[in-house]
Amino acid sequence: MKLRLMLWLLGVMLKRARRRNPRFQQRLSDMQRFDWGVATEDLSLARHYRMRPEAIEDAPGLPIDLDLELRFRDADAGVAFLKRPTARAFFDGLQSGRLRLVGDSRDLERLQGLLKHLR
């Protein structure tokens, strides 16, 4: 339940940053389109985000046409990671097997570039 709430709040924060943060808007404009999702490995909990300069949409589930997917071993690993989404946490999660990346690692860098503007 905690991870589900965190992912929903992430959608709210992304939409707010798109409306209010000029640097976030510029990065998003440079990308044109970026679709990504977060899920547990067993897909019992999943949410995806479709990001464009005009709007950000988020919804439950994990469609197959995403640019990037972050798959957590379980909900607890997802909560622990999302509390501190740093580059080091990404690396440690990948090394320990708590996080699996589905997609291109360059898309992960694009995502990190956007997420740093959420504060």
Model confidence over 92-113: pLDDT tens digits?
Answer: 888 999 999 999 889 988 988 8
Chain mean position to CA 73:
15
pLDDT number for residue 89: 82
Asked whether the whole model's pTM tops 0.85, one would answer: yes
With contact defined as beta carbons under 8 Å apart, do 81 and 72 qualify? yes
Q: Is the pLDDT of residue 37 over 90?
A: yes
Model confidence over 39-75: pLDDT tens digits?
Answer: 999 999 999 999 999 999 999 999 999 999 999 999 9
* Apex 38 CA angle, 1 and 112, nearest 5: 120
Alpha-carbon torsion 19, 104, 3, 79, what sign? negative
CATH number, domain of 60, equals 3.30.1050.10
Supply the range of the domain harboring residue 93.
Answer: 2-115
Domains identified in the chain, total number: 1
